[in-house]
Amino acid sequence: MTRANSQLSEYINHLIVERGLSKNTTSAYLRDIERFLIEQVIDDLSLVTPQDLERFIATARSRGLAESSIARSVVAIRNVVEFTCKEQGVLNQVKDVKPPKIKLRLPKALTIAEVSDLIAAAKSPGNPQALRESAILELLYGTGARISEIVALNVNDVMKIDGGEVSSLRLSGKGGKERVVPIGRYAREALDQYLVRVRPNLENADREALFLNDRGGRLSRQSMWKMVADAAKRAKISVDVSPHSLRHSYATHLLDGGADVRVVQELLGHSSVTTTQIYTLITIDKLRENYANAHPRAK
């Protein structure tokens, strides 16, 4: 093992043990940094220079890598260098190197009518898994959960009030951070239908997992993606629809309805309100459009 690989191993261990980052996050950091070490032939992370990073950025662009991916890599490299330099008590030469600027892309939200059509399409008579798909779509839109959070749900994450009625979900977000989100009537009823009429009929079912495939195992991320895409196709929705579209729609519709941005931040599990504020730009655009169409002196 080279000195740089040993330093990287220490850093990854620090992320997992001391900062409690998830396996997916640390794996992404590891891939980015390892590619940098190989391409730039780095033997010691404490000796990385701005020129090393500039060459890495140029190489990544020549390969057609997206600016967002390059920026993520640069941040990961800069962080591991900072950690290594602190550990060794030496000067960090790349602390002022900025990652490429990424053009702000506003998330696309579905209209309320499109969400209704999407969920209705999951209930189509020709769909044998209609109750399961309806419950998943209702939860994606009704809680704003990430698809990974829905996949990871266990039966005991469904929280009930004294009367036995489902009231909320316990979600495990990025970095293992847990949050509890309320469930509205539509999602509550759809989930109850799935739990009573579908899940008990699966043989050899996984006792823990909430959403199961036909063999009784935990439903996969890929299966949920396909489920949403198929429902969108049946609903004849022209825009691209993914599970994340429902998360975007959840946030946008909450803000349109007057919800406080910090409440929406908590519901989405964002660590910073800055991330949530991206959605406020969408609502401001709608206000401008309505103003332009309605006010006699707007044009």
Q: So which residues are the catalytic ones?
A: 146, 174, 244, 247, 270, 279
Identify whether the C-beta of residue 136 lies closer than 8 Å to the C-beta of residue 246.
no
- Give whole-number Cα distances, 250 to 115, 198, 227, 275, in Å: 10, 26, 19, 15
CA 109 → CA 112, 115, 246, 264, 296, distances in Å? 9, 9, 7, 15, 29
Residue 147, φ and ψ in degrees, nearest 5: -60, -35
How far, in Å, CA of 107 to CA of 121, rounded?
23
Give the 3-state secondary structure of residue 178: strand
Amino acid code (one letter) for 198? V
Specify the pairing of strand 178-182 against strand 158-160. unpaired
Separation CA 232–CA 297 (nearest Å): 40
Using DSSP's 3-state secondary structure scheme, residue 218 falls into: strand
